Amino acid sequence: MRVLKYAILGLLDKGELSGYDITSQFKKEIGQFWSAKHSQIYPELKKLTDEGFIEYQTVIQGTKLEKKIYSITKSGKQELDKWLNTFSPIPETAKDEFMLKAYFISSMSKEEANELFTDQLIKRKRKLNHLDERFNELQEKIDDPISFDSPHFGHFLVLTKAIEREKGYIEWLERMLPMLNK
């Protein structure tokens, strides 16, 4: 299944975007749970156009620069709706290089293991701070309490899940670090 296809359709269902705008979204909110590189997005945009799920208009930016602005078609909206209403199995475990290294901790010295865990703790705390900042920015955009009808509800769901994930990871790291020194 081409899940990237549906991520792009979902973004375009929210509004017209350029390829650059779509790539930027994968570095922001969507990046908390799904990744895609520039080299994956543009070929997928071509496929979606060929399939009739999206269309584009070329606009001139500046004096000469052409930019494609993509929008979802009626059949693209139907395809997105079909996917949104299909229940998926729980995905296989996500790849986590740190956890793979932790699994092979017996091949490290205590000092190396301590450095590895400390580094991960620092990085996770930074990530949590970033997510908290994003959450505060989101709250500033919203006048009334978040609800299902809010256009920001999906972003709210994703951010709260990402924050909980990082808090859990940090708590686990903080419990494990003393065990490395026993």
Residues of the chain with pLDDT under 70: 1, 143-145
- The confidence score (pLDDT) of residue 78 equals 97
- The confidence score (pLDDT) of residue 145 equals 67
* CATH code of the domain covering residue 38: 1.10.10.10
Give yes or no: residues 101 and 138 share one domain: yes
- The confidence score (pLDDT) of residue 149 equals 84
Please check whether residue 89 lies inside any domain of the structure. no
Give yes or no: residues 79 and 7 share one domain: yes
Please check whether residue 80 lies inside any domain of the structure. yes
Render pLDDT for 120-172 as a digit per residue (tens, 0 to 9).
Answer: 999 999 999 999 998 998 888 776 667 888 888 888 898 999 999 999 999 99
pTM value is: 0.77
CA dist., res. 78 & res. 81, Å (int): 5
Residue 161: closest CA among 44, 22, 14, 29: 29
CA dist., res. 78 & res. 84, Å (int): 10
Give yes or no: residues 128 and 149 share one domain: yes
**Integer angstrom CA distances of residue 109 from 100, 113, 114, 116, 175:** 16, 6, 9, 11, 19
Any residues with CB less than 8 A from the CB of 60 and at least 6 apart, and which?
66, 67
Tell me which residue range forms the domain holding 166: 97-181
Q: Of the residues 59, 84, 109, which one is the last residue of a structural domain?
A: 84
